[in-house]
Amino acid sequence: MRYSILAIALLTLAVNASELTYKPVNPNFGGSTLNGGMLLNNAQAQDTFKDPNARTSSYIQRSALDRFTDALESRLLNQLLTDVGAGNTGSLVTEDYIVDIIDNGDGGLSISITDQATGDTSVIEVNGLDPEN
């Protein structure tokens, strides 16, 4: 009788069990698409292989002095062009180039740009400017 009660108790435990279901995690195999980023980040974090043929970054962080110099050159060139509008001519000399701006009068403007490294010169002629402005 004891064995029959024990057998009945074991059978009732088996009846309460449910079937196992598989839910894939990877979106390629039917899992949620929200898991893709997480799986990719985990894979990249574990990747220790370095490509020997990969190019190194060609971007070089510019120093604060270089950025300031560029901003100052831009401001001086802007001021030079503003002065030409008032009838003044002038030039700007940097370590890279020389800019000469000449107001030809009656609406003409000549801008000469000389490359310091090569000596090449470009001339830009602008006509039709309003001499009143």
Residue 75, in any domain of the structure: yes
d(CA 71, CA 55): 31
Range of the domain at 69: 64-126
- The answer to whether residues 79 and 109 belong to one domain is yes
- The answer to whether residues 69 and 122 belong to one domain is yes
- The answer to whether residues 41 and 68 belong to one domain is no
- The answer to whether residues 112 and 70 belong to one domain is yes
d(CA 49, CA 34): 26
The pLDDT score that the predictor gives to residue 87 is 67
pLDDT tens string, the chain, 133 residues long: the values are 666 776 666 666 555 567 888 888 888 888 888 888 888 899 889 988 887 877 776 777 888 998 898 898 889 888 887 777 676 788 888 888 888 888 777 777 888 899 988 989 999 888 776 656 5
Number of domain units in the chain: 2
d(CA 50, CA 29): 28
- The answer to whether residues 36 and 70 belong to one domain is no
